[in-house]
Amino acid sequence: MTDTNYRPGLEGVVAAETALSQVDGQNGRLVIAGYQLEDLAAQASFEEVCFLLWHGTLPGQSELEEFRTSMAEFRVLPSATHSLLEQAAHHKVSPMDALRMAAATFDLDLGEGQEIDELTRAKAITARIPPAVATYWRYLQGLEAIGPRQDLGRSANYLYMLTGLEPGPATVRALETYLNTVADHGLNASTFAARVIIATESDMVSAVTGAIGALKGPLHGGAPGPALDMVFEIGEAERAEQYIRSKLDRGERLMGFGHRVYKVRDPRADVLAAAAEAMFSTEGDMHLYELAKEVESTVLALLEESKPGRNLKTNVEFFTALLLHGIGLEIPLFTPTFAAGRVAGWIGHCLEQQRTARLIRPDSRYVGPTDLAWVPIEQRP
C-alpha cells in the first residue's frame, strides 16, 4: 500500500506554527519575531533577543536590566557540574559531548525540593551554557577553571572564562552579533527535537539536552571548520582560482557555499560578513578578512561557471568560521558556541509548544513482514 503522505525526513511538512522566526529561502530573508535579522543582530544584546523570543516583545530598560541581572546570577555552575566536567576532561570527550552531559545538571541546585518555574529554568540553562563550555575547555587544556564575573555581559564573560582576559568591545560585539544571528531558524532539527521532548510535558532541561544532542551531528551544527581550512590552505589571494578550480574538477564540494533552503544569498552570511569586517578592522587580522573576501568572490564566480543556474551562494558557515576564529575561538568550540546562541530559540520554541499543549506524534509506515511463524529458541540455528 503506498501512502502518499509519506515524506522522508518530513521535508515540506508543516509541523508547527511559530511566531519566532520566518525563513524565506526564495528571497533570502530571515525575520526574528517580527524584526529583520539585519536590523536586530548587530544592534541587540543577546539578552534582548532572548527576551524577545521568550516574551514576544522587546524589553523596556528596567525589564532588560532585571532580566540581565537575574540571568547573570545563574552563571555559577553547580559543584557537581564542575566534577562532571573534570571527569569528562579526564576522558577527553568532545566539547559538545561535555556540554550535553553538563546541560543535564543545569537545574540541579535550583529547586531544593520545590517546584521550579519554567522561566527560572530557562534563565539558568541559557546562563550556564557559556560557563560550562569555557570551564570544560580549560579542564581539557589542563588549566584551572575561572569563575564567572557578574559585571560583564554574557558574551564578555564567556570569553573571560575561556582566557582570563577581558575582551575588547569590538570582539564582544562580534560574538553578540553571531549569537543573535543563530538564535533561531525555523523548525531546524535541534529545535524540532526540543519541541518533541517538551510536547510530552517533559521539562526544559530535558528538551535542551536533547537539542544539544541533535545539534552535535555534522549535518546540523556541523563543521564550519573546513571552510576556514580552505581559506588557510589557499593562503594568498593569487592562489585562490587554481586551488578552487582543482577542487571543483575533482567533484569536491566547497564548504560554506550552497544551502538546502536559501536559493539566494543566506542573509545570515551578510550580517556575519559585516560583523567580521567591523571586528577585523579594529581588533583582528584584516589580512585574513581580505583574503576570505577574495576567496568568497572567486568561489562564487567559479560555482556559477561550473554549476550554472544553481544559484550556489555563500552560506552562514563561511563567515561563522571566519568570525569565530577572529574572536579567538578554536574550531572544537564552534559548535558549542552555536549552542550558546541557539538556546534562545530552543527555549522560545519550548514555551510556544507548551502553550499549544499538543503531543507531537507522527505516524510511520510499516514495511516489514507480517506473517512470520514463531520459532522456539531451541529450534533456531
Query: Which chain residues interact with ligand COA by CB under 6 A?
Result: 222, 253-260, 307, 310, 312, 315-317
Q: How far is the CB of 288 from ligand COA (least distance, A)?
A: 19
Cβ nearer to ligand COA, comparing 218 with 368: 218
Closer to ligand COA by Cβ: residue 95 or 222: 222
* Catalytic status, residue 48: no
From 259, 296, 325, 349, the catalytic residue: 259
Gap between the terminal Cα atoms of the chain: 33
Catalytic annotation, pick one of 317, 325, 349, 352: 317
Residue 29 Cβ, how far from ligand COA at the closest point, in Å? 16
* CA 222/CA 189 separation, integer angstroms: 12
| 21-24 and 29-32 strand pairing | antiparallel
Q: Considering the complex, what minimum distance in angstroms separates the CB of residue 150 from ligand COA?
A: 35
Shortest spacing between CB 206 and ligand COA, in angstroms = 27
- Rounded to whole angstroms, the Cα distance separating 47 from 40 reads 12
Minimum CB distance to ligand COA, residue 99 (Å): 21
Instruction: Give the separation between CA 157 and CA 111, rounded to whole angstroms.
Output: 25
d(CA 248, CA 48): 43
C-alpha cell of residue 276 = 567580521
Q: Which of 200, 190, 221, 215 is nearest to 347 (CA)?
A: 190
Name which of 203 and 229 has its Cβ closer to ligand COA: 229
Distances (CA, A) of 32 to 56, 161, 185, 272, 327: 10, 29, 8, 16, 24
Q: Which lies closer to ligand COA via its Cβ, residue 162 or residue 227?
A: 227
Find the shortest distance in angstroms from Cβ 28 to ligand COA. 13
**C-alpha to C-alpha distance for 218 and 29, rounded to whole angstroms:** 24
Quote the DSSP letter at residue 314: B
Residue with smallest beta-carbon separation from ligand COA:
258
Our CB check for ligand COA shows the closer of 253 and 287 to be 253
Contact (CB, 8 A) for 130 and 175:
no
Ramachandran sector of residue 202 (left: φ over 0; alpha: ψ -120 to 50; beta: rest): beta
> Is 330 among the residues known to form the active site?
no
CB 177 within 8 A of CB 316: no
Q: Which is nearer to ligand COA, 82 or 259 (CB)?
A: 259
What CA–CA distance (Å, rounded) separates 47 from 26?
A: 30
Q: What are the catalytic residues?
A: 259, 317
